[in-house]
Amino acid sequence: MKKSNLAAGILYVLFGAACLIAALIGETKLEGILWGFAGAGIVPGLMMIFRYFYWTSPKNSARYEDLLEKEKIEMHDELKTKIRNEAGRYTYTLGMLVICLSILAFGILGGLGIIDNARMIVLFLSGYLLFQFIAGIIIFNKLMKRY
């Protein structure tokens, strides 16, 4: 495993710790976001550091080499590459349709005065991100079953 993975993990933890300190010290309207960044920096950073030390230990290095070889084969498999591209295209098209309908819906709701704040839009975009991720996985799996 590369040392850059360890460095990235340390940077994540430092960023998360800085956000945690800022959230604990100051009281601002962005405190919730700082807490979120703290968790999003510290937890993945610690996992990256743990993973680096786990895979670089002498007893796991052979398994890690096998894992890298299998991953390389999976990533360069022509059928899976074709299916990933097709799934990405379908997910992109579906996402564009959802965005178009959302623009229309938010335009109507804003015109009627139902939506005033950005909270609803942020919640929607969070759900949309989750929708895109899940749709990509589902479409990829359906295409894999077809072939």
Count of structural domains, the chain:
2
Residues 57 and 95 in one domain: no
Tell me the pLDDT tens digit for each residue of 87-120.
888 888 898 888 888 877 877 877 777 877 666 7
This prediction's pTM: 0.60
**Domain range enclosing 65:** 1-72
Least confident interval from 3-7, 12-16, 63-67, 77-81: 77-81
Average pLDDT over residues 60-86: 85
CA distances from 132 to 14, 55, 90, 139 (A): 30, 32, 11, 10
56, 72, 88 — which closes off a domain? 72
CA distance 62 to 26: 48
* Residue at which a domain ends, from 46, 72, 98: 72
Same structural domain for residues 23 and 37? yes
Residue that terminates a domain, selected from 52, 72, 92: 72
For 86, counting Cβ atoms within 10 Å of its Cβ (0-12 exposed, 13-18 middle, 19+ buried), the class is middle
